[in-house]
Amino acid sequence: MDIVPMQARHIAALARIEQQCFSAPWSEQALSAELGKGLFLVAERDGQPVGYVGCQTVLDEGYITNVAVQPQARRQGVARALLAALEREGRRKGLAFVTLEVRVSNEAAIALYRGAGYEPAGRRKGFYQNPKEDALLMTCYLNGKELT
Which residues are part of the catalytic machinery? 101, 113
In sequence order, the 6+-apart residues with CB closer than 8 A to the CB of 121 are: 99, 137, 138, 139
Residues 12, 15, 17, 20, CA torsion sign? negative
SS3 128: strand
* Contact call for residues 140 and 90 (beta carbons, < 8 A): no
Write the DSSP assignment of 14-73 as a string of letters.
Answer: HHHHHHHH-SSPPPHHHHHHTTTSSEEEEEEETTEEEEEEEEEEETTEEEEEEEEE-GGG
Nearest to 17 by CA among 37, 38, 44: 44
